[in-house]
Chains A and B, each alone.
Chain A
Amino acid sequence: MTKVTVAEEWLNACAGCEIAILNVGDVLVDLLVNNLDFVHIPVLIDKKYFGQTGEEKELSIPEAVVGIVSGGVRNEEHKEVLLEMRKKCQILIALGTCATDGGIPALINMYSDEDLKQFYYKDSPTTDPADYPTEHIPPLLDRCYALDEFVKVDLSLPGCPPHPDWIAGAILALLDGKTEFKMPERSVCDACPTVRESKKGIEDIKRLYEAAEYDPEKPLNEMRCLLEQGLLCLGPVTGVGCGGTKGAPRCISARVPCRGCYGPIRKGAKPLVDYMGALASVGFDPNKMLDRRGYLARFSGAHGVLKKIG
């Protein structure tokens, strides 16, 4: 069997998506040996952009059938690498919520780069104030972007990080000659076994330092829905998938509310508007919500969703 060539890159990423690839588990070794041929993956292989001795002038990545990119686009180098990946790969996969929707790093879109640098290089309690660095480093873009704001993405696997089930599923589908692989367009609540009574009358929103009520000896399907207990749970407006193809939502399993790490349920969904409706339906006054954008767009600040404040 011929192997499928794969190139992998990380942009404004944290390496969690790459660790999630390793968490595909024991089948990984077989895949690596028999099915996949990684031609470029900085976390594991020493392939260099400017040639192995660094003398070439132009950045280049080898050709591959499948390209996997994690992380959003935040500086000129990220953009250059992304465009090169698109040029060299037949199928481009956006891996993780940073790549599909900006992820946590896109929270920066609410602030100016000037404020960020002012604190980091001048005002921080341990820093000797200095001019901002400019030499040999790629300039920042005006904000943090998702991949599809610059290139065509063939397959999106959101999640921070994506569950290995979806990564393995996508890879196996591709090996099978299929180019279609879609995440389900349902909400975290759809996979959540907690008990919902839909009674109204909850007035106070609890903060995360307040605990849910549950009996630890009893399974999730005997715990009351966290949102109905007054905890902000983003389940209703977040895409399903964190428990893999079968499991329960991960945060709920740890008895804490969802914070939305799989991004919106479908492209173009409006979590902010939808969530206000969900809150009202359990009796909250949505106006009492603290740091509303910091909850509702925590993982999806690209695509112009989070704009500068002030």
Chain B
Amino acid sequence: MGKTLNIAPITRIEGHASVAIHLDDSGNVSDAKMHVLSLRGFEQFVLGRPVEEVPRIVPRICGICPWHHHLASNKAADACLGVELPPTGRKLRELCQMMAYIPDKILHFYFLAAPDFVLGPDADYSVRNVVGIVGANPELAKKVVHMRYKGQMLLEKFAGKVIHPIAGVVGGFSKPLLEDERKEILAGIQELKDFCVFTIKFAREEVFPKYLDAVKILGVFPSGYLGTVRPSDGALELYDGELRMMDKDGNFDQFTYPEYVDHIGEHTEPWSYLKFPYAKKHGALKLDENDPVGVYRANCLARINVCDKMATPLAQEELDIFRKEFGRPTHLTLLYHWARLIELVQACEKAEELLNDPEITGREHRAKNIQPRAGDGVGCVEAPRGTLIHHYKTDDNGLVTMANLIVGTTHNNAPMNLSVKQAAKALIKDGKYDQGILNRVEMAIRAYDP
């Protein structure tokens, strides 16, 4: 009789999941699966609510990336009610999107991912965490906590609430940006940018090289990728653009938000509450790590793969280094960590650019004369974990009659499962496993999150 290892909960990620690894009689892996253990029902309980209220409800899907849900939801609600945004309102929302990215990525890299790299995957669980990082490098740890906090507080001071935001409103933004506020935020962003440029250099030179061997074997398999690009030149977009679905060889389709239904299907497995999206053009989903069909990934590595270039200069320099080493598309799962930092640089540069745009302090931040109506709207943004798709329909009163949500983690459900299976099969042989090996299996999941 074989046995099952029940790894629960998956830690240092956001969300509730467990992994079951099944061993056969000789102690080799016969199967491994990631089970998502909760079903929360946002699609159901926004029904009947005024559509303009939904952006104040859906941020609770995720407290790590609430801004992205808030903004995608606002876009979908704008579309349902047929509202055009004044340029200032649009730019204020985009600024918040960039400012929300910065502390989130600092958190992920240093608190959630770095313990595996800095302390090593074999370190005991009691030290392999943020407290261990503090012990290993107290000065850096203090700086990290401070910079993340600073990023959060800049946004909070301006937008009122940083976790579960409220300042995006249908038609734009609830308040203008005053000149004094602009100056203060700009100074803060410049400091954060310096820290982020330091971070990617530090990671590139001192952290990743030690783990390149692991990068080449852990959770690796060919797949497609989904991300957003700027329509004019294919540059990586985090806020607004068109979606690109790439296949494993690098060919892609590019489409507008409402066309998502033609490109994405969702499949259900009996052992996870979470559905498994797949690329429709392949006709079906096959969860086979040696020969996957329909599997695509989202989140930073996907965006780095699908884009033709970065939208800002320092980020472009980093992409050049990355592409020279790994090509396009690259299927090495642990490179998510590297890709995450390239995007972090773009988010800082983009925030700076927006703050230097004279229109950002304009007084037309919100559209007027909005009326309820029956409508159908799809709103997307790129969240740290991947493309958010919010799709609502409304009745004549502007009340929601249908909501379909495909969020970052959902896109990555199939690839996370394949990564787990591939990593478990590669690492567990002849009944030999220990905490360090099982942690490496989890590392294959952690790469995708957030």
A interface residues, Cβ below 8 angstroms from B: 10, 12-20, 22-23, 25-26, 28-29, 32-33, 38, 42-50, 52-55, 59, 74-75, 77, 103-105, 107-108, 110-111, 115-117, 119-121, 124-128, 130-138, 140, 160-161, 207-211, 216-217, 242, 250-251, 253-256, 259, 261, 290-291, 294-295, 298
Which residue from chain A places its CB closest to the CB of B53 in the assembled complex? A208
Interchain residue pairs with CB less than 8 A apart (23): A19-B64, A22-B145, A22-B149, A26-B146, A32-B134, A42-B9, A45-B131, A46-B129, A47-B11, A47-B125, A54-B438, A107-B57, A126-B261, A127-B275, A131-B268, A136-B271, A140-B39, A251-B161, A253-B160, A254-B161, A254-B166, A291-B48, A295-B53
Interface positions of B from 149 to 177, Cβ below 8 Å from A: 149, 152-153, 159-164, 166-167, 169-171, 174-176
Contacting residues, chain B, for A251 (C-beta < 8 A): 160-161, 166
Whether B203 sits at the interface, judged by CB under 8 Å, is no
Interface positions of B from 250 to 276, Cβ below 8 Å from A: 260-261, 264-273, 275
A16 and B60 within 8 A (CB): yes
Whether B35 sits at the interface, judged by CB under 8 Å, is yes
Asked whether A250 and B166 contact (CB < 8 A) given A105-B60, A124-B404, A207-B52, the answer is yes
Most buried by B among A12, A44, A46, A52: A46
A254 and B175 within 8 A (CB): yes
Contacting residues, chain A, for B33 (C-beta < 8 A): 136
B53 and A294 within 8 A (CB): yes
B14 and A209 within 8 A (CB): no
Other A-B pairs, 17, CB within 8 Å; known A43-B12, A45-B131, A251-B166: A15-B14, A15-B15, A15-B62, A16-B59, A33-B138, A45-B11, A48-B11, A53-B435, A54-B5, A124-B266, A137-B35, A137-B273, A216-B175, A242-B161, A256-B160, A290-B397, A291-B50
A138 and B14 within 8 A (CB): no
A111 and B267 within 8 A (CB): no
What is the CA–CA distance of A120 and B275 in the complex, to the nearest angstrom? 9
Which residue from chain B places its CB closest to the CB of A212 in the assembled complex? B174
What is the CA–CA distance of A290 and B268 in the complex, to the nearest angstrom? 36
Contacting residues, chain A, for B159 (C-beta < 8 A): 254
B41 and A33 within 8 A (CB): no
B161 and A209 within 8 A (CB): no
B272 and A33 within 8 A (CB): no
Asked whether A75 and B63 contact (CB < 8 A) given A115-B44, A135-B270, the answer is no
Q: Is the interface of A mostly helix, strand, loop or mixed?
A: loop
Contacting residues, chain B, for A133 (C-beta < 8 A): 268-273
B266 and A128 within 8 A (CB): yes
Contacting residues, chain B, for A43 (C-beta < 8 A): 11-12, 14
A136 and B20 within 8 A (CB): yes
Asked whether A256 and B167 contact (CB < 8 A) given A22-B107, A43-B11, A120-B43, the answer is yes
CB < 8 Å: which of B37, B53, B162 contacts A77?
Answer: B37
* Interface membership of chain B positions 34-72, coded 1 if the CB is closer than 8 angstroms to chain A and 0 otherwise: 011111110111011110110011011111101000000
What is the CA–CA distance of A127 and B260 in the complex, to the nearest angstrom? 12
List the 9 closest A-B pairs by CB distance, nearest first: A16-B63, A254-B160, A130-B268, A107-B45, A54-B5, A46-B125, A15-B63, A14-B63, A104-B60
What is the CA–CA distance of A16 and B162 in the complex, to the nearest angstrom? 10
Contacting residues, chain B, for A17 (C-beta < 8 A): 63
What is the CA–CA distance of A217 and B176 in the complex, to the nearest angstrom? 10
Chain A proximity of B405: nearest CB distance (Å) = 9
What is the CA–CA distance of A135 and B19 in the complex, to the nearest angstrom? 13
Whether B434 sits at the interface, judged by CB under 8 Å, is yes
What is the CA–CA distance of A53 and B125 in the complex, to the nearest angstrom? 11
B264 and A108 within 8 A (CB): no
What is the CA–CA distance of A117 and B149 in the complex, to the nearest angstrom? 39
* Interface membership of chain B positions 1-17, coded 1 if the CB is closer than 8 angstroms to chain A and 0 otherwise: 00111111111101110
CB < 8 Å: which of A10, A29, A117, A130 contacts B267?
Answer: A130
Whether B370 sits at the interface, judged by CB under 8 Å, is yes
Contacting residues, chain A, for B7 (C-beta < 8 A): 48, 50, 54
B: interface residue count bin: 35 or more
Which residue from chain A places its CB closest to the CB of B177 in the assembled complex? A216
Which residue from chain A places its CB closest to the CB of B44 in the assembled complex? A116
Asked whether A134 and B270 contact (CB < 8 A) given A38-B131, A42-B11, A209-B171, the answer is yes
What is the CA–CA distance of A294 and B83 in the complex, to the nearest angstrom? 24
Contacting residues, chain A, for B402 (C-beta < 8 A): 125
Chain B proximity of A207: nearest CB distance (Å) = 6
Contacting residues, chain B, for A108 (C-beta < 8 A): 40-41, 44-45
Whether B299 sits at the interface, judged by CB under 8 Å, is no
CB < 8 Å: which of B141, B142, B164, B178 contacts A16?
Answer: B164
Chain A proximity of B47: nearest CB distance (Å) = 8
Contacting residues, chain B, for A23 (C-beta < 8 A): 149, 152-153, 162-163
Whether B95 sits at the interface, judged by CB under 8 Å, is no
What is the CA–CA distance of A41 and B112 in the complex, to the nearest angstrom? 12
Whether B326 sits at the interface, judged by CB under 8 Å, is no
B142 and A29 within 8 A (CB): yes
Whether B230 sits at the interface, judged by CB under 8 Å, is no
Asked whether A210 and B370 contact (CB < 8 A) given A50-B8, A108-B40, the answer is yes
What is the CA–CA distance of A261 and B163 in the complex, to the nearest angstrom? 12
Which residue from chain A places its CB closest to the CB of B60 in the assembled complex? A104
Asked whether A14 and B39 contact (CB < 8 A) given A19-B163, A115-B44, A120-B275, the answer is no
A48 and B8 within 8 A (CB): yes
Whether B98 sits at the interface, judged by CB under 8 Å, is no
Contacting residues, chain A, for B398 (C-beta < 8 A): 207
What is the CA–CA distance of A216 and B170 in the complex, to the nearest angstrom? 19
Contacting residues, chain A, for B164 (C-beta < 8 A): 16, 160-161, 261
Contacting residues, chain B, for A136 (C-beta < 8 A): 20, 33, 35, 271-272
Chain B proximity of A20: nearest CB distance (Å) = 6
Contacting residues, chain B, for A208 (C-beta < 8 A): 50, 52-53, 56, 169-170
A111 and B277 within 8 A (CB): no
Contacting residues, chain B, for A49 (C-beta < 8 A): 8-9
Asked whether A128 and B57 contact (CB < 8 A) given A48-B9, A209-B370, the answer is no
Contacting residues, chain B, for A290 (C-beta < 8 A): 50, 397, 399
CB < 8 Å: which of A53, A125, A140, A207 contacts B434?
Answer: A53
A209 and B81 within 8 A (CB): yes
What is the CA–CA distance of A140 and B39 in the complex, to the nearest angstrom? 8
CB < 8 Å: which of B38, B45, B406 contacts A111?
Answer: B45
Whether B130 sits at the interface, judged by CB under 8 Å, is yes
Whether B439 sits at the interface, judged by CB under 8 Å, is yes
What is the CA–CA distance of A108 and B47 in the complex, to the nearest angstrom? 10
Chain A proximity of B74: nearest CB distance (Å) = 10
What is the CA–CA distance of A256 and B277 in the complex, to the nearest angstrom? 36
What is the CA–CA distance of A303 and B248 in the complex, to the nearest angstrom? 50
CB < 8 Å: which of A46, A74, A110, A130 contacts B38?
Answer: A74
A44 and B8 within 8 A (CB): no
What is the CA–CA distance of A47 and B364 in the complex, to the nearest angstrom? 51
